[in-house]
Structure 1
């Protein structure tokens, strides 16, 4: 695997791949790689002739400078983790490569970016949309791979490519979880030992609430009960716990069409997100999304 740090060197390489007729997949990351990222790399390698993994901690998608400063930087260990998977390039641009002096363009996606993390983190998805557009163009990617844990981000990037006629297919991949159910995230590394034992309650509470709602349970009451369970367990606060339709992410009060429960909660000073699929009993098994089977 080659490490490349400039877009000029990357473009020279991708042009040679194109001349050879190779397809190109890209896995955009901010580093601190875990099994979730590596599952994306594995799929990209299976579906493309060439694969680029990008590593760039994007300042434009952080609305909290302290959060940006604390984000783990682990390039050496990330490169070592990638070695067995067969990626061709680890692209590690610096700020000057991505946002040179005089940079003045922001890409904004409305609709699916509104509410949820878009409401809790103003400007976040503008930063995501801007950086992924640049990465897709720099990598000349045929396909880009994103996890469903960041489901809103997945829809923002999908909408972006459709609206701007970008030649990059967005491939959504299942959330990868720890053995105790916690959705894998680079932020999990910042949890203390005690809070780390509490964190899997996110998945447990979401799955319980999804089953109740899928059986016709009252959405607002079920969500209130889930919030209370998390706060009683020791979570600091909850940014949101909402039922949204998929893929358009409209706020819902009943599961009368395919939907997901979305959660963002704070624990030990760390913001954790997750989501699970919900379907009313009539639509279970009919949606393109994977239904959460009632117990």
Structure 2
């Protein structure tokens, strides 16, 4: 007991006399974080920022998407206090953005162990220890999940990576069953296949061989959403939030990480699917936004 008092007194004295003592304690931790963030940022898909640290080379596409997608989410959803599921969460980029908007809890699912290591490291750096990032196949998760439900589900940059010919009725109905408020989809659309010229983008290499990826159209997805129990589906053009239209379009390459030309040309967009129309903000009734209709 006496030793504890002596230690406490010594630490308090050193902190009060010399603020530099605090930085001597903090420096090794932040030094390590800085090194890790810079390394990951140079190799990862997204820009990683922790306080004053920013990782790697500029990710122009990541910055544009972060700006316009977050503004869209803030307009169309109240995320405060909500539980969220981030499917194919990668390094938790969008999970941590939802946390900034007030999300209470997030569970991330991904099959890539390396990106999950990043996500689980960053949740402690950002101080969200209750967030969960686990390795699991999306279809297996939907088949085996008997307990968890979520107010908001993110399906961002996922659909066009899933195997063609999957059971989409099961997929969307399973999402609907565990989703109490809203599903957010960000996807490429393939009504005009000439816009996506690279055939390698349409295949998935696995241990079992090459699998063709799904190339979804709006009509297909919207039909599945309504049939799965979503009452109100809206498609949103998030590029209205972009001021530098020319810079955002860039060289027009739809696969480039330096522009968002696929959004600018309407070959990619956001869809918000609400379980009930009441969950849609009243403000939407006052602005021009087109409801996605069922396929006849």
TM-score range, shorter chain: under 0.3
Q: TM-score, normalised by structure 1?
A: 0.27
Q: TM-score, normalised by structure 2?
A: 0.27
